[in-house]
């Protein structure tokens, strides 16, 4: 009986460790998106996370919401400086997220200015 309980407990612990490792390291997709950066903010009560929004359509019809990890200090600074501009972001999409990472499953890893297709001169 005692051996069975230990085996069940060990299986539960190994399952939890496997799940945590999968959520931490696995990504679902990665890619690029371009649009007007309309919002970057630090929000949260217990866990402060960096969240942002980018408009990908005319009049904000299509909004791309994303998070930025606290460890990506340069990306956070670049986003703050480029707010209101047309930008291109590189992101990874994760299966799940943790409360201390952010609200979104999309995490921006780099940002660069992009020429807006709406300002044709």
- CATH number of 27-113, picked from 3.40.50.620, 1.10.3720.10, 3.60.70.12, 2.40.50.140: 2.40.50.140
Dihedral pair phi/psi, residue 39, rounded to 5°: -155, 135
Residues 12-32 pLDDT 10s: 999 999 998 988 888 889 999
CA 61 to chain centre: 21
Residues 102-118 pLDDT 10s: 888 999 999 999 887 77
End-to-end CA distance of the chain: 79
Per-chain mean pLDDT for the chain = 89
The rounded distance, in Å, linking the Cα atoms of 27 and 96 is 9
Q: Are 90 and 79 in contact (CB under 8 A)?
A: no
Domain-by-domain residue ranges, the chain? 27-113
- Residue 97: predicted pLDDT: 83
């Amino acid at each position: 009986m005692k051996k069975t309980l230990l085996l069940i407990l060990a299986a539960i612990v190994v399952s939890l460790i496997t799940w945590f490792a999968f959520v931490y390291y696995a990504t679902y997709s990665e890619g690029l998106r371009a649009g007007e950066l309309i919002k970057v903010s630090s929000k949260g009560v217990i866990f402060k996370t960096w969240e942002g929004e980018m408009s990908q359509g005319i009049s904000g019809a299509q909004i791309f919401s994303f998070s930025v990890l606290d460890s990506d200090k340069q990306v956070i600074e670049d986003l703050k400086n480029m707010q209101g501009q047309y930008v291109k972001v590189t992101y990874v999409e994760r299966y799940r997220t943790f409360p201390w990472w952010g609200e979104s499953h999309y995490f921006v890893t780099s940002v660069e200015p992009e020429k807006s297709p709406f300002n044709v001169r």
